[in-house]
A = this chain, B = another copy of it.
Amino acid sequence: MPETVTAFSWIDGQWQSHWPLNDRALHYGDGLFETIRFASDGSIPLWPYHKQRLLQGLCALNFPIDSFQRIEEALAQRPESPLQGGKLLISRGTGPRGYAPPAEPDLVLQWQSFAPPAWWYQRLPQGLTVGISDIALAIQPALAGFKHLNRLEQVLARQRFEPHWQEAVMLDTQGRVIEGCMSNLFLLENNRLVTADLSGCGVNGVVRRWLLEQQNVIITPFEPERLLAADAVFFCNSLQGIALACDITGQRYGHPAAQQQIAALQQDLENLYA
Contacts and interface: CB of A to CB of B under 8 A. Distances in A.
Given A27-B89, A100-B158, A153 B140 contact: yes
Interface string A150-162: 1111111111010
A44 interface: no
Interface stretch (A2-10, A123-131, A189-197, A219-227): A2-10
A74 interface: no
A149 B29 contact: yes
Given A26-B89, A30-B155, A112 B97 contact: yes
A61 interface: yes
Interface in A152-180: 152-159, 161, 173
A242 interface: no
A2, A5, A24, A98 pick with most chain B CB within 10 angstroms: A98
A2 B96 contact: yes
A159 B26 contact: no
A28 interface: yes
